[in-house]
Structure 1
């Protein structure tokens, strides 16, 4: 972790999957359900892709994710997969499945108490992203929860730019973009922000985080540098 010479943040923007939420703890039950239903409905005939393949796609827009997992799929199959993924994620969240990374809630509360504005910017579906925040008891800590599903943005760069504009935040190193994928680093750097890489997440490859300004090996490290 290296913050020498950098501004302490006035605001932090967090990715959701692989940053705040340990997504595999939810998808391990959702993933097989989605593909079983697609087969039952005649929209998919192959084997269920390994869960690791899905986890490696986290951070992508959903259409890109399904094209990667089901390269020969029809539009109808991909659209139905979107519906099933959201339905089953919300059902399993309601049932108590899925967990935050260690210390997430406590660290967010500490950052909030120190006067930082907190946001989420995710490429996921609106009701999923907000559902995680609500079911895990952290929704009230955020000044805004943004998702590609809600705003129809084509990249996280655009989503973060919209967030900054709507909350009248001037792009500066005093705003930190915190995430675990290349799309998070890109969104931070392209918008003139400090990019914080979550090296504790295992869904992507380490090379994706090249170019980040700060690396953290546990979420709780944020409290010690703000």
Structure 2
């Protein structure tokens, strides 16, 4: 754990989903390969499935930007079908019990909730995907709100977080995430950012500007307990 500044206890915490709470690759990678198999069978895509590293390195971006990197120049029809298939397959794999939260996520959120911290999700993902995770892993009972770019049609996570804070009357909230979009969302709204460095994808440059960097999720409790 690396601290760069003194923090004050917040009214709320806002969590990114992929790479922060959710071990994305547990359902993303099998769904990714199955999606391209289906796209090829439907005549919407030719060639080999793009390397896993491309989609893993794109997590945290808006879906339009992810597909532009994975399938540059793909038609609208192909992108729309890929979105549909990827969501459907990931939800299927979640229901089959293949998905995992990172270690200690549930008990850490329970402890924060019990101490009166309001908890929110702020994700650039699709509404069905983000809400599917919270439902399958029974996080709904701990959350005050689930915000996704897919539901609110925001162009940046900074805009999504601004909307979340306005709608819930929040003056102070920590942004917790593993991507540069999370750093920007917190700082762009004048809030502290906790950077998460434990996913198997991404790199340290994504966390530039974080007030604190944690290397396991349960360290968030230490940060909260030490805050003024």
Question: Which bracket does the TM-score occupy, shorter chain normalised?
Answer: over 0.9
User: Which position in structure 2 is the counterpart of 1:161?
Assistant: 162
- Determine if contact 2:5/2:211 at 8 Å carries over to the other structure: no
For the residue of structure 2 that corresponds to 1:39, the secondary structure is: helix
User: Which position in structure 1 is the counterpart of 2:43?
Assistant: 42
What is the Cα deviation at residue 72 of structure 1? Answer: 2.3
Q: TM-score, normalised by structure 1?
A: 0.96
User: Which position in structure 1 is the counterpart of 2:173?
Assistant: 175
RMSD between aligned alpha carbons? 1.1
The number of residues matched between the two structures is 223
Equivalence map 1:44-193=2 (5 Å) = 44-170=45-171, 174-193=172-191
User: Which position in structure 1 is the counterpart of 2:214?
Assistant: 216
CA distance in 2, matches of 1:183, 1:67: 17
- Determine if contact 1:177/1:188 at 8 Å carries over to the other structure: yes
- Determine if contact 2:5/2:212 at 8 Å carries over to the other structure: no
What is the Cα deviation at residue 28 of structure 1? Answer: 2.3
- Determine if contact 1:3/1:225 at 8 Å carries over to the other structure: no
Deviating above 4 A after TM superposition, structure 1's stretches of 4 or more consecutive aligned residues are none
- Determine if contact 2:11/2:170 at 8 Å carries over to the other structure: no
What is the Cα deviation at residue 53 of structure 1? Answer: 1.6
What is the Cα deviation at residue 4 of structure 1? Answer: 5.2
What is the Cα deviation at residue 163 of structure 1? Answer: 0.2
Gapped regions of structure 2 (runs ≥ 5): none
CA distance in 2, matches of 1:4, 1:98: 35
CA distance in 2, matches of 1:103, 1:49: 33
For the residue of structure 1 that corresponds to 2:200, the secondary structure is: coil
